[in-house]
């Protein structure tokens, strides 16, 4: 079966055909974990898709100190940052990242949470774009700053207090995108001060199970549905996705969106926030 919301993905061919389309803005949303030693901004400056803007989730974020990095900014701050890039509400936004499919869904979700639904992720990412010998550049595009209207849909995000309340009520299914050894607490967390484990009552669906990592694409619709069914994502409860810091949780979210299961929200602080708090319970072992 095909995806219900297939228009949230575009091919590299589609992007190549729209490089000069004034109604399209291409965004490089590459983000790398600190342990990789890589710098998304530096890699963008070295090479990117012609006309692509750099979207740094560590810059377009809540500026106040928080335990978890790149938390969602206010609607006003998001609008100012995006408008300064030259992105308007009338344009179609296409997001890609360096490694195929990692951080682009986070940027996709940010636009949608702030009311911009005309946004999609490019399949395959920049790695595969280069492998296909498509054009790249180090030239930085400059677009005239414009007005962008952003309205935060708070129902699409979850706070730590809401997740704490949900432990008692179990009204929502908390779905964790991290690898199994991080979920069960057998693998230490890389971030200092973050204890291992998972949120009590949560379920584990590693994001790697619903994508082809090498190809940078989602699995077919039937495979996605089967994976979500196994995890209990059957539509009976809203799903709150979580991961290390709110990035790969959006891969699960985009996967659910592709197959028409849109009753989900993001726990923005994710395990970095939960695991660093003294008053939160850290469960160990399998779900």
CA angle 96, 143, 19 (to 5 degrees): 45
d(CA 202, CA 287): 6
Say whether 243 is catalytic. Answer: yes
106: part of which helix (H) or strand (E)? helix 104-113
Q: Tokens standing for 72?
A: 């969602």
168: number of Cβ within 10 Å? 8
d(CA 87, CA 83): 5
Task: Dump strand ranges (E) for 29-130.
Answer: 53-54, 92-96, 119-122
Q: Tokens standing for 246?
A: 């709110």
Q: Which of 150, 233, 243, 266 is catalytic?
A: 243
> What's the half-sphere exposure (Cβ side, CA atoms, 13 Å) at 260?
6
157 Rama sector, left if φ>0, alpha if ψ -120 to 50, beta otherwise: beta
Cβ contact 266:250 at 8 Å: yes
Catalytic residue annotation:
243
């Amino acid at each position: 079966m095909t995806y219900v919301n297939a228009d949230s993905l575009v091919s590299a061919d589609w992007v190549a055909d729209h490089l000069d389309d004034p109604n399209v803005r291409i965004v490089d949303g590459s983000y790398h974990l600190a342990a990789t030693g890589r710098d998304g901004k530096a890699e963008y400056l070295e090479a990117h898709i012609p006309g692509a803007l750099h979207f740094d989730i560590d810059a377009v974020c809540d500026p106040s100190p928080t335990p978890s990095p790149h938390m969602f900014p206010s609607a006003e701050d998001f609008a100012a940052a995006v408008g300064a890039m030259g992105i308007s509400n009338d344009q179609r936004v296409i997001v890609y990242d360096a490694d195929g499919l990692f951080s682009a869904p986070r940027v996709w979700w940010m636009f949608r949470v702030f009311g911009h639904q005309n946004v999609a992720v490019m399949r395959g990412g920049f790695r595969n774009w280069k492998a296909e010998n498509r054009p790249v550049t180090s030239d930085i595009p400059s677009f005239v700053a414009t007005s962008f209207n952003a309205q935060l849909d708070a129902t699409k995000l979850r706070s730590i207090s809401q997740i704490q309340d949900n432990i008692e009520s179990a009204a929502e299914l908390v779905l964790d995108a991290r690898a199994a050894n991080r979920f069960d607490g057998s693998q230490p967390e890389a971030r200092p001060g973050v204890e291992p484990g998972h949120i009590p009552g949560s379920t584990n669906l590693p994001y790697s199970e619903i994508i082809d990592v090498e190809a940078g694409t989602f699995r077919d619709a039937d495979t996605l549905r089967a994976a979500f069914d196994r995890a209990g994502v059957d539509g009976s409860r809203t799903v709150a996705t979580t991961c290390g810091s709110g990035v790969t949780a959006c891969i699960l979210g985009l996967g659910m969106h592709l197959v028409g299961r849109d009753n989900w929200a993001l726990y923005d602080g994710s395990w970095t926030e939960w695991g660093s708090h003294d008053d939160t319970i850290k469960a160990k072992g399998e779900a």
